[in-house]
Amino acid sequence: MKSLLLTLLLSISFSVSAVVSNTTYFVHLKAKDAKTRSEIAKYIHIDQVIDDSVYSVVNENDLKELQKNFKKQIVESHVYIQASPGTLGDEIEFPRGDEKFHTHAEVVTVLNDLAKKYPNLTERFSLGTSLEGQEIPAIKITAVSSNRPNLFTPGILFLGAHHAREHLSTEVPLLLAKYLVENYHSNSEIKKLLDSREVYIAPMVNPDGAMYDIKGKKYKSWRKNRAVNTRGSFGVDLNRNYSFGWGTGGSSRNERSDVYMGPKPFSEPETLAVKAFIDAKPNIRILLTFHTFSELILYPWGGKNDGVGGRDQKVFEKMAKTMAKWNGYKPEQASDLYIASGDTCDWAYGAKNIFCFTFELSPKSMWRGGFYPGAKVIDRTFNVNIKPALYLLKHAGNPYGVLSEL
Ligand SMILES: [Zn+2]
């Protein structure tokens, strides 16, 4: 019955292919190993790997590609969200029950308020401006006097929401900003860190996509930014748009694909803003970019099967394993899952020598809420990630120091 319905839906939507559908589909495929998964990842983003299966929520174009290229491996597929695209003037607010999540305007307000309340610890700034002209809001947190040249104060950068529907990845860095300034005076560990570090936090790298995803108070399972592509589709996958190894696997040249790499590396104002910021801050030694979901700690390479090798490999492994003890996530090299090129961390490490981690936050699986686990998980997810964040802050001074720790 399900498959009949799906066929029906597909034939309807395909016959009016001029209209870009907003329907997303749940899909389950058999994929016996990393090689097979990497083949699939050329067409779709894999949300979850369990044993010899992969699961994902894909758009219509990508489902079509799967049916064309992996027909025999598809175990199940059905409509996940059938959303209206939203119209001009639709309210920008999270769906009922999820209002605790922060809209772009609310993120701006929270950061402004923190800057006002803690002027000696913070500096409000913008990472840049999105394609649709929205600010990419950010805050610098440090007790190091701004009169001193900051070149030699170790820096760390936290990023959230490269992907629109991963709203929890905005909440965690936003709560972290609040936590750091509110505990500076009462917590000696945090005081020590902020007295000797510069912390940069940009909780919403992709404001256009994130706000489109909730427009009209309905989730759309949107992933990309809102770039206007040449043939009527929208969006570039920002986490496939970085230059290092761009377009070498696990991303698509098809504009309609959810893993569309963009017309060229750094074609998007959002990724370009991240690049320009990091280029201007040579003191940044560690980067943590939050995504959802699956509960993983990932490190380079993502775009090739090799590890980074040498001492750096040991640093990545040691840090990932240590943090995993606190948040319970699974530490692994990103490409152990499947190849994905052009992501933040391959560029940050490959081009800038920054120790970069991707956290895939909660929940653990699709069946525990996937991209939309509800506001109840916000605090819990933040709490288990405080220690990992402070640990990275501590080691921003000398990441190699972890090798001599027990
Ligand atoms: Zn993501």
Q: Count of domains in the chain?
A: 2
Q: Which domain holds residue 109?
A: 104-404
Name the average pLDDT for the chain. Answer: 92
- 106 class by beta-carbon count within 10 Å (0-12 exposed, 13-18 middle, 19+ buried): middle
Q: Are residues 73 and 129 in the same domain?
A: no
Instruction: Tell me: pLDDT of 148 over 60.
Output: yes
Instruction: Tell me: pLDDT of 397 over 80.
Output: yes
Confidence (pLDDT) at 14: 41
Q: Are residues 75 and 123 in the same domain?
A: no
Catalytic residue among 135, 268, 295, 360: 360
* Percent of the chain residues past pLDDT 90, beyond the cut: 88
For the whole model, what pTM was predicted? 0.91
Q: Are residues 122 and 218 in the same domain?
A: yes
Binned at pLDDT 50, 70 and 90, residue 112 comes out as very high
Q: Are residues 181 and 126 in the same domain?
A: yes
* One-letter-per-residue 3-state SS of the chain: CHHHHHHHHHHHHHHCCCCCCCEEEEEEEECCCHHHHHHHCCCCCCCEEECCEEEEEEEHHHHHHHHHHCHHHEEEEEEEEECCCCCCCCCECCCCCCCCCCCHHHHHHHHHHHHHHCCCCEEEEEEEECCCCCEEEEEEECCCCCCCCHHHCCEEEEECCCCCCCCHHHHHHHHHHHHHHHHCCCCHHHHHHHCCCEEEEECCCCHHHHHHHHECCCCCCCCCCCCECCCCCECCCHHHCCCCCCCCCCCECCCCCCCECCCCCCCCHHHHHHHHHHHHCCCEEEEEEEEECCCEEEECCCCCCCCCCHHHHHHHHHHHHHHHHHHCCEEEEHHHCCCCCCCHHHHHHHHHCCEEEEEEECCCCHHHCCCCCCCCHHHHHHHHCHHHHHHHHHHCCCHHHHHHCC
The pLDDT tens digits of the residues spanning 263-321 come to 999 999 999 999 999 999 999 999 999 999 999 999 999 999 999 999 999 999 999 99
What's the 163 CA to ligand 1 centre distance in angstroms?
Answer: 5
* Percent of the chain residues past pLDDT 70, beyond the cut: 92
Q: Are residues 69 and 111 in the same domain?
A: no
Q: Are residues 78 and 115 in the same domain?
A: no
What's the 184 CA to ligand 1 centre distance in angstroms?
Answer: 31
What's the 85 CA to ligand 1 centre distance in angstroms?
Answer: 21
CA 321 to chain centre: 20
Q: Does any domain span residue 373?
A: yes
Which CATH number is 47's domain given? 3.30.70
Q: Are residues 61 and 197 in the same domain?
A: no
Instruction: Tell me: pLDDT of 168 over 90.
Output: yes
Instruction: Tell me: pLDDT of 4 over 70.
Output: no
Q: Are residues 235 and 112 in the same domain?
A: yes
**Can you tell me the mean pLDDT for 26-35?**
94
360 is catalytic: yes
Q: Are residues 265 and 299 in the same domain?
A: yes
Q: Does any domain span residue 87?
A: no
Q: Are residues 224 and 281 in the same domain?
A: yes
**Can you tell me the mean pLDDT for 357-361?**
98
Which CATH number is 300's domain given? 3.40.630.10
The pLDDT tens digits of the residues spanning 176-221 come to 999 999 999 999 999 999 999 999 999 999 999 999 999 999 999 9
**Can you tell me the mean pLDDT for 7-17?**
43
What's the 162 CA to ligand 1 centre distance in angstroms?
Answer: 6
Q: Does any domain span residue 75?
A: yes
- Per mean pLDDT, which range of 45-54, 157-166, 350-359, 385-394 is the poorest? 45-54
Instruction: Tell me: pLDDT of 146 over 70.
Output: no
What's the 70 CA to ligand 1 centre distance in angstroms?
Answer: 23
Confidence (pLDDT) at 18: 39
Confidence (pLDDT) at 83: 74
Q: Does any domain span residue 88?
A: no
What's the 3 CA to ligand 1 centre distance in angstroms?
Answer: 28
Q: Are residues 126 and 225 in the same domain?
A: yes
Q: Are residues 67 and 205 in the same domain?
A: no
Binned at pLDDT 50, 70 and 90, residue 376 comes out as very high
Confidence (pLDDT) at 368: 92
Confidence (pLDDT) at 90: 78
Instruction: Tell me: pLDDT of 3 over 70.
Output: no
